[in-house]
A and B are shown apart, each in its own frame.
Chain A
Amino acid sequence: MSSPDLPLVAPQTAQPPPRGGSHAGAAKSGRVRRLSGSDRVVVSLMVLIPTVIVVGLIWLPAIASVVLSFTNWNGIGKLSDAKVIGLKNYTDVFTIYPPFKPAIEHNLLWLVVMFVVATPLGILFAVLIDKDLKGSRFYQTALYLPVVLSLALIGFIWQLMYSRDQGLINAVLGTHVDFYGDPTWNIWAALFATSWRQVGYVMLLYLAGLKGVDASLKEAAQMDGATEVQTFFRIVFPVMRPINIIVLVITVIESLRAFDLVWVINQGRNGLELLATLVTQNIVGEASRIGFGSALATLMLLISLVFISIYLNVIMREDER
């Protein structure tokens, strides 16, 4: 790239001039053309607008949430009416708020199921479809179709399958399981419906990656007598590292922000508590316990930060190589 003490130049002028070397060109004209007035404005705006958006939409609300979590504000009237009550919201969350523990457990369960079941299954399907089996286009479309639907819609679609009195599953099995209402079942019912979508998503990402793997690598492995399984795990999987990281990140993000589906089912109560639904119940509903809800949101932020820092750590190590 350019040396550090060059003045700021417009991208097009940084290209070598048509005749002679760039150094010669620079020497001939005596100086590098500086940015014109309008260019400066454009560049400043290009820096400024994203900054304002990021600060305004991400940093300010995040910081405001953290600050509000130390108050008892009820979301009505002036902020100055809010009383600072220290860590009370946090101690309440940990000591006397019964839905908190199940919410953490459900979020972790969500993460584990996505990581152990949905994502590997998606990878498996991608590998199978990549083999160009008969009708693979059909399978690909069928598996990808759920990804197009919103999670809210998926909740409704599965209601038709799960419904206690009219649902397909109970009708076929002759049972009367209340899949959405019974707290021992509903988290699994929700996880199944989410996985149904997640599998297709992961499959598509992975399929795109697989198409990019050099076929000669696989041929070479087969020449050396590697089995299908060995070829995948020893050759293809390591080559796919960038895609693997993306899939991993998507899995974590989808698990932490899990919300829409359970909200549609029963607003995240009765066995379907998740951190995101607790935050919403407290802040958005008629309740409007902004302070308390912000404390929950801050805890969610902290948990996300753990995963974000792991991710950044991996990415940065990648860059150093």
Chain B
Amino acid sequence: MTRPSTQAEYLAGLVPDSVRATSFSRRGLLRGSLLAGGIPALLAACGGGGGTAGGGGGGGSSVTLGSNFSDPVPVKAMDAMVAAAQKAQGVTAKVNKVDHTTFQNNINNYLQGSPDDVFSWFAGYRMRFFAGQGLAGDISDVWQKIGGDFTDAFKKSSTGDDGKQYLVPTTYGPWAVFYRKSVWAEKGYQAPKTLDEMTTLAKQMQTDGLVPLAFADKEGWPAMGTFDQLNMRINGYQFHVDLMAGKEAWTDQKVKTVFDTWRSLLPYHQTDALGRTWQEAATGIVNKTSGMMVIGSFIGQQFPDADQGDIDFFNFPEVDPSIGADAVEAPLDGFMMSKRPRNEDGAKKLLTFFGSPEDGEVQTTADPSGIAANTKSSQAKYTELQKKCAEFVGSAKSISQFMDRDTRPDFASTVMIPSLQTFLSNPADIDGLTNSIESQKKSIFTS
């Protein structure tokens, strides 16, 4: 569990997602189902209640902003961004903070109800899916102003299937293997270049009394990171993209090799991962009881300020020399505009600010675990780690998002989360597992 920063947030955390969704507004729920009947109305009413009850939030230059920044450090960053936006563009943003995972789980109802004018979201398939369903506002005109500051790759990641832009990217953070410099220096460890070297290192850590690979998968998504790394090292970037797009079969020997390789690494993973959150696993790195962890650069949020300089990482090592290790996973975060914002001008002003070099600086200073997506953002205030991350991603040949951002949301959440958890609790039956994934994939991708 992350530590809530306010009492209200703590109380909100006690409410399970489901209950939260239904208790939004009893009246809205009742009215919705009476008028139209049926589940769609019920679901729409869940999201809708909040907005109608609030009476539109007020016009003027005030913009509502739905934020999934829920850990203490990102919350601090969000406050700084909103304050800077007010200064730069004269827009006041009313931030509606929602727990990160809850925000994702409710995104459908949220967007179909009365969403905030601007909301935080992710690049890639996950953005295109909602843009394609007509749930996001076209912000191509914002891009005309800010477009020059971004690389083509980022513009592509922000573009929907119809060629219009729907996302303003703000920050990204690479996935790699993170560790504490001081621990490694003390024990004399060297960053491994190949999987064999990593296995040898892991064995050494075990004899030194460390947990080699800190690991958690209670939330269901952290294990996807390890799968992605292995898949891109064993089968390459293009296979990752095709597999996620449903074009390759999960029963392919290539996928089985990924699971086989992962199984051979499991003895070095922290045990009982399914009951642990990633924050708890990261604590092992912070407390120097674990040696390393496959995770995103956001692990920095778990370190106390004094120890920020002690964080280091290495690229997930090469498995197959013919494939190499030049594909990097660096999920890109940003902001989108809802379909019918109550204050469109204000929303676009806010988004323009989020796309400005200044926002990148504000955000990466307040939360040093991310790197500004805007190429004009000054890197002067970057920590050593941020500089290394920026260089690392800059030198990558291809950049993937993440399993749950590169594939259909329904496939990722209802098939891959339980499947990877099944693999972790029973790694023996890879054939059965891949058959099961493939048959469910066929059903979902063809429907």
Interface, chain A (partner B; CB < 8 A):
52, 56-57, 60-61, 63-65, 68, 72-77, 79, 85, 88, 92, 95-99, 152-153, 156, 164-165, 176, 178-183, 186, 259-260, 263-264, 266-267, 269-271, 280-291, 294
Contact B14 A153 (CB under 8 A): yes
Bound CA span A86–B280, Å: 45
Within the complex, the shortest CB–CB distance from A304 to chain B, in Å, comes to: 17
* Any A CB within 8 A of the CB of B7: no
Identify which of residues 193-246 in chain B touch chain A, using a CB-to-CB cut-off of 8 Å.
218, 220
* Any A CB within 8 A of the CB of B144: no
How many residues of B sit at the interface, in one of the four size bands? Answer: 35 or more
Report the 6 A-B pairs with minimum CB-CB distance, sorted nearest first: A181-B275, A64-B38, A60-B37, A287-B410, A178-B272, A96-B439
Instruction: Knowing that A85-B447, A99-B418 touch, tell me 4 more A-B residue pairs with CB under 8 angstroms.
Output: A52-B34, A64-B37, A263-B18, A270-B421
Instruction: Name the B residues within 8 Å of A183 (CB-CB).
Output: 274, 425
* Any A CB within 8 A of the CB of B15: yes
Bound CA span A182–B273, Å: 9
Bound CA span A57–B37, Å: 8
Q: A60-B38, A61-B39, A79-B40 are in contact. Are A96 and B16 (CB under 8 A)?
A: no
Instruction: Name the A residues within 8 Å of B322 (CB-CB).
Output: none
Task: List 21 A-B residue pairs with CB atoms under 8 Å apart, sorted by A's residue number.
Answer: A56-B37, A60-B33, A60-B37, A61-B33, A64-B37, A65-B39, A68-B38, A72-B447, A75-B43, A152-B16, A153-B14, A181-B273, A181-B276, A183-B274, A263-B16, A263-B18, A269-B418, A270-B274, A284-B106, A287-B409, A290-B40
Instruction: Name the B residues within 8 Å of A260 (CB-CB).
Output: 16, 18-19
**Minimal Cβ-Cβ distance residue in B for A181:** B275
Contact A164 B272 (CB under 8 A): yes
**Minimal Cβ-Cβ distance residue in B for A294:** B39
* Any A CB within 8 A of the CB of B293: no
Bound CA span A65–B37, Å: 11
Instruction: Name the B residues within 8 Å of A176 (CB-CB).
Output: 272
A156 interface neighbour in B14, B33, B275, B447, Cβ under 8 Å: B14
Q: A269-B418, A281-B414 are in contact. Are A57 and B107 (CB under 8 A)?
A: no
Q: A57-B30, A156-B14, A178-B274 are in contact. Are A283 and B418 (CB under 8 A)?
A: no
* Any A CB within 8 A of the CB of B264: no
Contact A181 B272 (CB under 8 A): yes
Instruction: Name the A residues within 8 Å of B378 (CB-CB).
Output: none
Bound CA span A289–B135, Å: 17
A76 interface neighbour in B133, B274, B425, Cβ under 8 Å: B133
